[in-house]
Amino acid sequence: MTSSQLHINLQAIAHNYRFLDAQTGPSTQTAAAVKANGYGLGMEAVSTALYQAGCRLFFTAQLDEGVRLKAAFARQGYDGAQIAVLEGFRLADLETYQAYHLTPVLNSREQAEWLAAYQVKKQSALPAILHIDTGMNRLGFGADSHVFLSDPSHILHQLELSLVMSHLACSDDPSDSINGFQLEQFTRLVQPFSHIRKSLCNSGGIFLPSAYHFDVTRPGIALYGAMTDPDMTDSRLLPALRWDADIVQIRKLKKGERAGYGGEFMAKTPARLATIAAGYADGYDRALYQPNRGIVAKVEIAGKAVPLAGRVSMDLLIADVTSLSDSEIASASKACLIGAHYSLAEMAQDRQTISYEVLTDLGDRMTRLYDGA
Ligand SMILES: *Cc1c(COP(=O)(O)O)cnc(C)c1O
């Protein structure tokens, strides 16, 4: 049995939560985005650690995720956590929201009308979050809805709202002028909701001036120790992930022998290669071996960074361990794929993507091991 293991450091996630919470004033609550299985790290375990660190408001993307999280909290006897579902809903979903005490996010007039009708039918209130789009143009009430947002007779104002939120498009770039524009739009559009709490910031927004912070922040990626822009990753955030994989074979190559699909690696000298039990089916992107474009990812074996040797295959990687000594090779049973030598942010950069995608690509068949639980 060989495998690949994700070591998830729950203490690091709790530390990051407290660090982010400390970046805003005492009256600003820090919520957590745990959508997409807690950014690939395991929604239940991550949320449990966050709850223990003091988090009481959780955002999932989909209704199923919210139901799963509610069940996990119930199993542990954790009360008082509010779980909001970002995606919006159909009328038929509202029974589920109510049954599981989940908070629907209103993204359109139609949804406001459905919720109002549902409440009349049930003769009971189902608190909701109002999502206003202030310039991202993706989801939520558009700025063109200000006419009825500000009309006190509109049905929206008869609903019980626990939060009014918007989402920043470019918070990872403090110099982008859209940040100020969205803040201005938000401040204007929320005026009719003076008694309701407000939320604008994701992770990046927390590092913008305090005028952005309002009553609730909603970090995701920073909780997991990364930021969109690797240069912005604050060294005070702790990495939450180490990815290890078993070494399954060591082999010797003569000069001129090739390795991997397409024989793309060629030994320029007699070489030694290590075969490692992880591949693109686990979320290790094939784009990490493109020597003709200068991209060759490193893995760490026996405490030393060594380069990949040959294309990434579905279940296996090959690394060039020629630079290691016999005893180093003999002593090594694992390779570290994401860790101190090669961070999540570096892997994201080599893949020309963002750390979010590296995390959510992490496969289901790997063992997730929780340290500091
Ligand atoms: C994903 C998401 C967040 C968290 O964003 P990060 O950039 O990961 O901090 C916050 N709010 C909304 C609406 C989201 O979709």
CATH of the domain at 72: 3.20.20.10
Tell me how many domains the chain contains: 2
Confidence of residue 58 (pLDDT cuts 50, 70, 90): very high
Q: Is 221 in the pocket of ligand 1 (CB under 6 A)?
A: yes
What confidence tens digit (pLDDT) does each residue in 182-230 have?
999 999 999 999 999 999 999 999 999 999 999 999 999 999 998 756 5
Which residue's CA lies nearest to atom 13 of ligand 1? Answer: 167
User: Is 26 part of a structural domain of the chain?
Assistant: yes
Task: Write down which residue in 229, 260, 286 finishes a domain.
Answer: 229
**pLDDT at 245 exceeding the cut of 60:** yes
Query: Which pLDDT does position 235 carry in this prediction?
Result: 77
What confidence tens digit (pLDDT) does each residue in 250-284 have?
999 999 999 999 999 999 999 999 999 999 999 99
What confidence tens digit (pLDDT) does each residue in 66-88 have?
999 999 999 999 999 999 999 99
User: Is 98 part of a structural domain of the chain?
Assistant: yes
Q: What average pLDDT does the segment 12-28 reach?
A: 97
Confidence of residue 113 (pLDDT cuts 50, 70, 90): very high
User: What span, in angstroms and rounded, lies between the C-alpha atoms of 113 and 240?
Assistant: 42
Which residue's CA lies nearest to atom 6 of ligand 1? Answer: 220
**pLDDT at 332 exceeding the cut of 90:** yes
Mean predicted lDDT score pLDDT of the chain = 95
Same domain membership, residue 323 and residue 212: no
**pLDDT at 2 exceeding the cut of 90:** no
Ligand 1: distance of its center to the CA of 219 in Å? 6
Task: Write down which residue in 176, 202, 229 finishes a domain.
Answer: 229
Same domain membership, residue 267 and residue 200: no
Q: What average pLDDT does the segment 128-133 reach?
A: 97
Same domain membership, residue 262 and residue 218: no
Task: Write down which residue in 196, 229, 262 finishes a domain.
Answer: 229
Higher pLDDT, residue 89 or 233: 89
Same domain membership, residue 248 and residue 216: no
Per cent of the chain over pLDDT 90 is 91
Is 51 designated active site? no
pTM here is 0.96
Same domain membership, residue 281 and residue 189: no
Same domain membership, residue 277 and residue 225: no
Same domain membership, residue 211 and residue 262: no
Ligand 1: distance of its center to the CA of 202 in Å? 5
Same domain membership, residue 205 and residue 277: no
CATH of the domain at 271: 2.40.37.10
Q: What average pLDDT does the segment 152-171 reach?
A: 94
User: Is 352 part of a structural domain of the chain?
Assistant: no
The upper half-sphere exposure of residue 221, i.e. CA atoms within 13 Å in the direction of its Cβ, equals 25
Is 261 designated active site? yes
With beta carbons less than 8 A apart as the criterion, state whether 32 and 50 touch: yes
Same domain membership, residue 246 and residue 220: no
Confidence of residue 147 (pLDDT cuts 50, 70, 90): confident
Q: Is 206 in the pocket of ligand 1 (CB under 6 A)?
A: no
User: What span, in angstroms and rounded, lies between the C-alpha atoms of 36 and 38?
Assistant: 6
Name the catalytic one among 35, 70, 198, 298: 35
Same domain membership, residue 215 and residue 127: yes
Tokens 């990434």: give the residue: 312
Same domain membership, residue 150 and residue 106: yes
Taken in order 199, 82, 99, 35, the sign of the CA dihedral is positive
User: Is 5 part of a structural domain of the chain?
Assistant: no
Query: Which pLDDT does position 199 carry in this prediction?
Result: 98
Question: Which atom in ligand 1 lies closest to the alpha carbon of residue 172?
Answer: 7
Q: Provide the residue range defining the domain that includes 57.
A: 10-229
User: Is 358 part of a structural domain of the chain?
Assistant: no
User: Is 159 part of a structural domain of the chain?
Assistant: yes
User: Is 324 part of a structural domain of the chain?
Assistant: yes
With beta carbons less than 8 A apart as the criterion, state whether 133 and 166 touch: yes
Structure token digits, residue 48: 């449990």
Name the catalytic one among 122, 252, 255, 261: 261
Higher pLDDT, residue 153 or 292: 292
Question: Which atom in ligand 1 lies closest to the alpha carbon of residue 35?
Answer: 1
Same domain membership, residue 156 and residue 305: no
User: Is 181 part of a structural domain of the chain?
Assistant: yes
What confidence tens digit (pLDDT) does each residue in 277-320 have?
999 999 999 999 999 999 999 999 999 999 999 999 999 999 99
